[in-house]
Amino acid sequence: MVEHPGGPPVPTTEPADSEVRWVYQPVEVDAGDGAWAPGRISGWWQDPAGRSWCRLRVCRGGQPADWRPFDPERVRLLPVSGL
For strands 75-77 and 21-30, give the pairing.
antiparallel
| Helices vs strands, H then E, count in the chain | 0, 7
* pLDDT score for 2: 40
Domains of the chain: 15-77 (2.30.30)
Q: What's the pLDDT band for 6 if we cut at 50, 70, 90?
A: low
Does position 50 have pLDDT exceeding 70, yes or no?
yes
3-state secondary structure of 20: coil
pTM: 0.80
Closest residue by Cα to residue 72 from 35, 50, 41: 41
